[in-house]
Structure 1
Amino acid sequence: MVSLSFKQITERLKTIDFPETDIVIGIGTGGVPAATMVAYHLNAELQVMTLNYRDEQNNPRYEAPKVLQKPIWDLEGKRILLVDDVSVSGKTMDAALEQLPGLNVKTCAMKGKADFVLFPEIKDCVKWPWKP
């Protein structure tokens, strides 16, 4: 398991050439701390979309990611960055993207697959600084 600190994540954020972003949407629950850091870094508004796929032991809880709280936002014309902590299979990210059809959305993950990945070199599990 790889341990990452807030300092390491903050330093890596400074190296990513993110697009202009109006709103950062964190995929809850795991992506909320990561999205908070990204929104702060980009000086962008933060919103949360609550989905769930895996339990606390990282085992799939449902057959597919399930939207637990469907957001009702006016996002027309906004530049959106959708953020999750980990996107290995991409299923949760894809389920979140389905909730944002026709909008200007880019994706970001701390590790895994996305338009912007902070730690693409990490293949192991991560001990995030916000998790006990």
Structure 2
Amino acid sequence: MDTKVPVSFVKISKALSRFPFPPTDIVVGIGRGGIVPASLVAHQLNLPLFIASINYRDDSNQPNRESPEFLALFPATFPEGSRILLVDDVAVSGMTLELLKKTLMDYPVKTFVLKGKADHVLFPDIKTCVHWPWHAAAKPLIYES
């Protein structure tokens, strides 16, 4: 039985447009799951976007490593004092966000997720698994206002 709830782009877009983001200079998305949310946030805030390729969980959301690992070199050099917002779709344990925060320890960093544990959460009331509209397994929605 599929217990994932669909969340549409319209719902996400409306929530992002109302969200009180912290002062931010650079958005860093965690690839794979955070690429689309980080792109939406960077667009909303009109800020530069960087992607950190890190992996910890597989497509069924189960850990596939002992701990999160960088899959590619991440350029962790930004202008001094840049306020960075780390973005992912979901944070369960927070370990992936913490790995990136340690890498960026010379900068003021805040975390933002659509669902889960972070400094800022777009949908704090959603406790079930979610079908994000950009996932292949998501059920297409014709229109939702």
Given candidates 101, 111, 118, the residue that maps to 1:114 is: 118
For the residues of structure 2 that align with 1:98 and 1:70, how far apart are their CA atoms?
15
Give distance in 1, aligned partners of 2:73 and 2:114. Answer: 23
Q: Secondary structure of the residue that 1:69 maps to in structure 2? A: coil
- Structure 1: tracts of 5 or more residues without a match: none
TM-score, structure 2 normalization: 0.87
For 2:54 and 2:102, how far apart are their aligned partners in 1?
12
Q: 1:90 aligns with which of 90, 94, 105?
A: 94
Poorly superposed stretches of 4+, deviation over 6 Å: none
Counterpart position of 1:44: 47
Look up the equivalent residue of 2:124 and give its one-letter code.
Answer: P
How large is the Cα RMSD of the aligned pairs?
1.0
Distance 1:5 1:71 in 2: 31
Alignment length, in residue pairs? 132
Larger radius of gyration: 2
5 Å-filtered alignment, 1:1-132, equals 1-75=4-78, 76-132=80-136
Structure with greater strand share of residues: 1
CA deviation map 1:31-72 (0-9, x unaligned)? 000000000001110000010001111111101011112312
**Percent of pairs identical after alignment?**
49
Which residue identity is paired with 2:93?
A: S
Task: Return 5+ residue gaps in structure 2 as ranges.
Answer: 137-145
Structure 1 distance, partners of 2:96, 2:125, is 21
CA distance in 1, matches of 2:98, 2:76: 19
CA deviation map 1:74-118 (0-9, x unaligned): 322211100000001111111111111121111100000111100
Deviation at 1:73, TM superposition (A): 3.9
TM-score, normalised to structure 1, is 0.96
